Amino acid sequence: MAEIGQGVGARRQSSTRKAPRTWQHPTSSLVKGSIVYNVKYWGRVEVSQPSGAVTVKEAIDQLGACVQDAKQRGGKTPKVVLAVSYKGIRTADAKTKAVMHMHPLGKISYAGDDKTSKSVFAYIVREADSKNYCYAFKADGLAGQISLTVAQAFDVALKELNKTLGPDKGEMSKRMETAQNKVEVAATGGGGGSSQPPAAQPVAHSVAQPVALQQPAPALVPAPVAAPV
């Protein structure tokens, strides 16, 4: 499997405060709507660590092998819409628009993309069962842009949170700032610049079956879709 970027969990190399970054989307697109990407859902796998490039690489390798096995048996990888906003990451069935997953940014501890192939985006989230899961998506040519969009979403969310908390920043603000730094490092590779049939029911290190909600989900709010670089 191609090398994974430094990832959301990587620390900044310097404590020097950087100049404000010029992001790729208007802030309003992440606050009033979502940045949407048409991708393919590889699945999820339970991971032992909440962050780390090695953890993400191992998860992507496992999920990729499962997808290849499914294809050999005549399966197809589900097409989904991945929507990123300052509230979180949402995935929905591309055809029915039924929501499959909704993960608040505060629960996401790591996100990154395959820096070599630029085709796989993944993130780690802590779910209701208190376990960490890595979700992976095939996003040909767009994985890096999705990482940057998630980094921007964290930046916007942190600013909105600080507006609410004021000068007396709470623990949530500190956690969000830490996560935002990690995501930005992951998206930029540590430097500057802007830069299947459904799988089996999950157990440790296996792909989860995406389950759509029975009730139709609210329509995704249109927002600019990043174009391939």
User: For the chain, how many residues are written?
Assistant: 229
CB 203 within 8 A of CB 36: no
Report how far residue 176's alpha carbon sits from residue 155's, in angstroms, rounded to the nearest whole number.
9
pTM: 0.70
For the chain, 229 residues long, give each residue's pLDDT as a single digit of tens: 444 454 544 433 334 455 567 898 999 999 999 999 999 999 999 999 998 888 888 999 999 999 999 999 999 999 999 999 999 999 999 999 999 999 999 899 999 887 767 799 999 999 999 999 999 999 998 999 999 999 999 999 988 887 776 665 555 555 555 555 555 555 656 543 333 323 322 222 233 333 332 233 333 333 334 444 3
